[in-house]
Structure 1
Amino acid sequence: MQTILIIEPDNGFAQALAQELKKIGPATISTVPTIPEGCLILSQRPQSLVFMPVSDDTATLVRALRALQPGVPIILTMGEETAVSPAVTNQVQGTLSHKNLKSHLPRLLDQAPAFVPTHDASRAKPHAPSPAPPPKISSKQPIRPADVQHLFDRVELGELVQTIILSQANTILASRGRHKPAIQKIFVAQIGADWNGRYAARLQFQPTPSGDAQLYARALSDGYLLTLVATPEASLRELRMRGEALTAVIQQLLDGQQPDTLAPIQFSTGQPDQREKRISYNIAWQPQKPLRHDLQIPLRRALQRLAHENACVLTYVTADPELIHLHINCPAARGSDWIAYLLKNGSEEIIQKEYHLDEPLWATGFYAAESAKPLSDNELRLLLEKRELS
């Protein structure tokens, strides 16, 4: 059966398109309103065909989708006749206007399977074979959830890993962290939805009420899954190291060692010297124009990289269309203005280079002040109203 993904902010058209597709033949159809949600689905399950709306960033978004699934067939949709450059149309199966849905859709579907993109397909690399799975834990005795919970309660999470979960068959056996049980259940359901023993480890992204999260899961024996929920800034290398550390300790539990005898696991915050004097700051600035959604996660990664390179630790980041706000811990010798200048200008340079942008990203000015915790929503709103960012 075909799997088709519809990315469409116009819910009425999305439903109409889905109905027409069902008339033509059997298919599993997913509809989402935004590109990030579409990328999430594409990262979880290969698609036979993707419909996505024309926008100012169509070429970039097509590349983003094909980075997740090389050569995936794509049809562009538009509310009215819009000029689309040949450089873009040469990379997709075709374009479909809302008003010509019924008359043009069958023809587009006929040509889509045989269509070979003129550029991307020649460069697309086949999926690399999965690395050999690591040796699975051999259960000499069943895991006692109370023992694992006792172990988790002694783990020092740090700032990048927010929650850790041990589950089996979508049932949470032990957990610790910032996310509420209801949100943890969503994480576990997503991770376990199509696992079926096919992966040794897997990384996914999941939107949450407080922002995007990374879900890094490792398979244990007997259907156990260890999941680390982390901020978007956490690197895959860090998640692997922390997952391996937890797995090794759980192995000791399975070998019969008592939880009280195990040394606590501390996830490093990234600070080079815990003894040196450090100060935390709130820093905020505004974009020149609303920040594109596809730049928000790359921006967070750029900020994390700059912080790490300068012996600082990002403890909180929000990258919204209208405001960038972060809370950062740095050596006391580096003042707030210096740090704000470094992060603001450095992140702009990284994003401009990565996305081939010429225009400035950020408006003039910034807010920087020493603070033990991030600014509240009310405090941020007052900053904007009083124009204290200039």
Structure 2
Amino acid sequence: MGSVSRGCPHKPCARSVFRRPARSSGVGIGRSRLLGIFDEFGVRKVVNAYGTVTPYGGVLLAPEVLTAMSEAAQSFVDVGELAARGGRLISHLLGFPDGLVTAGAAAGLSIATAAALCGSDRSLAAALPNVQLTRREVLVHRCQRTHWTQAVRLAGARVVEFGSHGATSPDALRDAITERTAAIVYYAEHAAVRSLPLTEVTRLADASGVHVIVDAAALGFPPEELRRYGDAGAAVTLVSGGKLLGGPASTGVALGTESMIQAMRVHSNPNFALGRPMKVGKEDIAGLVRAVQVTVSRGSEEPCARWRRQAFHIAHALKMPEGVRCRYVDRGEDDVLPRIVPRVYIEWDPESLGATAPEVARLLLNGEPGIAVGAWERRISVNPAVLLEAETDLVVRRVNQVMAELASATSPP
């Protein structure tokens, strides 16, 4: 079992010039779950030990965020003005020149691609994706390509891969950039050692007048680290609002240069353009702005300490049968980001228990209470990112119960 670090390496952000609300107790911590409404709808509530993933709703909103959303619901405003102003407030908190609130990071990727293809030309924006363009290609590392590339194609771009799955050289990117290249998308979540450094990508892109779009959807925590993408020369950085920034699950924010963000506004709701269906309501915009204020004001030390405390407690309270290994790690080793959140991994040979990790995860989810965990072929992951402290022992009890039942069923009579 790994050792517990003495402190979180990330320091709280410096004070901002913007007014912030009182200190929050943290994302989803210190308040009871909403009771009644899901029972009325006939939908089971889930204890989320998986992480800030979209299928389970992202995060629980802090009271300050709910208050802001409630207030926003009681007045009318110009939504375009609010989206621009809200994005600018967030961008200044996070150290960028400008920003735009989007309907999640994936919507931001489509809109950023449209802006790279057409700039601020409103006639072209209204005609996408069926327009004739000289620059229509968007480059992606072959080793980074994911299903999120569909958001790029949605804008009418042609995706072109460069490099290989094993390695990528500067020459591979240099050769891939042509007069048809409009942008390079850099998936920061998948920027493994096989990828070029972002600074090298932006250097080569700038020499050819090509935009660099960074998808950092789940990397919004600690928030002060986001500015490194802008400092490296990216035209725009896309972040999910509904993960550890603490905002509504349907939100995101694009952070970048004034020219790129201005072009993205042309392609965004309420304009009749590609982003019109990707609508963000005034309540969600207000909620995201307040969430970022709360998250930046709170800093990262308290959440890091709480996550370590919860994960360490779970690792020591689990009583696993013979042949099952339980270990605590300070940083996640799976694809649920950000990896700054510690994990508890439970690992075994599927033949020894007669069940794979996905099958165990289904047993946990279908039980009472339903527990959502990450699952791979030979291990499950308990992630405390949005786990209420009052739920920690529930997770321990259910995991112990399921694993004991499986061990009993496979043991000789």
Give the shorter-chain TM-score range. under 0.3
**TM-score normalised by structure 1 residue count:** 0.25
Of structures 1 and 2, the one scoring higher in RCO (CA 8 A, sep 6+) is 2
Higher strand share: 1
